Amino acid sequence: MDAARARKLADRIQQVVAEMLERRIKDPRLGFVTVTDARVTADLSDATVYYTVFGSEAERADTAAALESAKGIIRSEVGRQTGLRHTPALTFVHDPLPDSARHMNDLFELAKKKDAEIARQAEGAKFAGDAEPYRFEDDLDTEAAEEEGEDEPTGRAGHPAR
């Protein structure tokens, strides 16, 4: 089948399911649900609907049970609104993306605090050796001239004038 057709159907299924959950499904176990994505197989036989639930693990489990029990009603409405000869079988999957994003934000905050602490500790620190421990080509030329006994006039400290 056509991948573009599968994407269009997935978008339509996402809209229909979200509308059904908002207006028609009155199960008290259904929590604050957001339909985040829908994907349809290339042969249009299976559709996976991804959702998130605002709340605790118990509310997430209750919502999963409510979606499972309402699957038949939702599937028949999807078939009616899409006009397909064979309505895809629906599978509801909890979307872990918001939880992952929240975890990443927590990690970024921790890294930011550690960076601030290291910067605070490094404020009064001094170098263990020279501030610039590397030798540059100008420095090597000056040292070679000094070894030969030539004194060149300098434009600034330690560097020959040009």
The 10s digit of each residue's pLDDT in 30-58 is 878 889 999 999 998 999 999 998 888 88
pLDDT above 90 for 143:
no
Contacts of 98 (CB under 8 A, 6+ apart): 52
Amino acid at 79: G
Nearest to 78 by CA among 48, 121, 115, 43: 48
Size of the chain in residues = 162
For the chain, what percent of residues have pLDDT higher than 90? 41
Distances (CA, A) of 61 to 7, 35, 65, 93, 94: 29, 16, 6, 11, 10
* Cα(158)–Cα(153) distance, integer angstroms: 10
Predicted local confidence at residue 160, as pLDDT: 58
